[in-house]
A and B are shown apart, each in its own frame.
Chain A
Amino acid sequence: KAGVTQTPRYLIKTRGQQVTLSCSPISGHRSVSWYQQTPGQGLQFLFEYFSETQRNKGNFPGRFSGRQFSNSRSEMNVSTLELGDSALYLCASSSGLAGVAAGELFFGEGSRLTVL
């Protein structure tokens, strides 16, 4: 069973640009969550998509957006990049079911974004 695939693995952008990151969840998983990981702030929840609908959203500005397609693949977009957006962006898939399974996240290796 293939794991969670994130692309690209590494990218460098400059301030003001925008970036799109992609995540392909485990086959059969309908929930995709995105997290930002930085040394200072740790793991911060961005948003969760389930069956193409945003089901949860963290406390990030509107520059951060996402979407999910009918095949459960998800993209997140960051517009007008700032230096502070440099981070490892992690995608996690899950079955989307309630109970303990809601916290059973399967993470990709992440996309490391550097903003210059």
Chain B
Amino acid sequence: GEDVEQSLFLSVREGDSSVINCTYTDSSSTYLYWYKQEPGAGLQLLTYIFSNMDMKQDQRLTVLLNKKDKHLSLRIADTQTGDSAIYFCAERTGSARQLTFGSGTQLTVLP
């Protein structure tokens, strides 16, 4: 079945890079997404990667995909206090239309 796992917490210093990791089990995943949830708000789509890609860069965000190991990561360069939030990875398989979300990683940026 589908399962997406993330570590629960990550703390970094302002200005450092953050790397949030995610593993998934469904090898038929077609698209993988990163969402951000700030306190009291819904989720906001940050970026996505297609399963035939290894890397995608979008300004301060870099997504790396290792399909062999079913490992996805989100790197945030020059992390700012405004990046403090919960980050969710999500997968969508070809056979399903809904997303399966990970448990979320709480990123805390320390000044």
Contact = CB atoms under 8 A, between A and B. Distances in A.
Interface of A: 4, 33, 35, 42-43, 45, 48, 55-56, 58, 90, 92, 99-100, 102-110
Interface string B74-111: 00000000000000101010001111111110000000
Interface residues of B, number: 23
Interface of B: 31, 33, 35, 40-45, 48, 50, 88, 90, 92, 96-104
Contacts of A104: 33, 45, 48
Closest CB pairs A-B (n = 5): A107-B42, A43-B101, A107-B43, A42-B103, A103-B92
A58 B1 CA distance: 13
Contacts of B101: 35, 42-43
B41 A109 contact: yes
